[in-house]
Amino acid sequence: MRSPFYQHPSRMPWKATPLSAGLLVLTALIALLSNTGSNREWVVPLVMAPNVQFFVSEPWRVFTPALLHFSWPHWIFNALWMFAVGRLIEWRSPWVWLVVVLVSAVAGNLAQVWLGGTIWFGGLSGVVYGVLGYTALWDRRRRDQYAVPPMYLGLCLAFLAVGFSGLDRMLGMNLANFAHLGGLAGGLAVAAAHLALCSEPRRT
């Protein structure tokens, strides 16, 4: 892994994080083509299917709900988190970034379907919780920290609490709370596995 990027994310060149850039461009394009979910011809092939057979015939559905966004503020919110935190992971290791994104997206999507009982959801929010969980646990255990402010995770945990309390519906929002929780669990699991595999860096 490369050394952490200890400057503001805006100073990091986009060419150094092509996966993050590509993911944000792809999700923006899908939001545009699907008219933020209004065009069901684009939405239906990407949501989770209501039966278990899709695991064999259409396995991409375990990931693709993360690519959907049903409003532009939702996309902007997720894009800002991926810009500020997700890119820090890709800077150090594109492979680690890829694992965190895939695991947190799939974990969040499956949690929302199995525990939340709905297939009509989407967004990178589960991945956002995943990258925050990964960096939080890594920073707690290692000296070569990402130096992500703990307040970032605290804000998202507060947002998670709002969702599970039911205040989200009172405020006119309909949050995929289990997708957030599943994504967080996925990011923490990847961090735990990575920490177990990596030796502590030498002091300089």
Indicate which residues carry an active-site annotation. 125, 180
- Do the Cβ atoms of 131 and 81 come closer than 8 Å? yes
Q: How many CB atoms lie within 10 A of CB 47?
A: 20
- Pick from 190, 203, 92: which is nearest to 136 by CA? 190
Q: Is 94 helix (H, G, I), strand (E, B) or coil?
A: helix
* Integer Cα distance of 28 and 22 in angstroms: 10
* Residue 204: DSSP 8-state: -
* Integer Cα distance of 191 and 194 in angstroms: 5
Query: What is the 3-state secondary structure of 96-125?
Result: HHHHHHHHHHHHHHHHHHHCCCCCCCCCCH
* Integer Cα distance of 107 and 181 in angstroms: 9
* Integer Cα distance of 157 and 196 in angstroms: 25
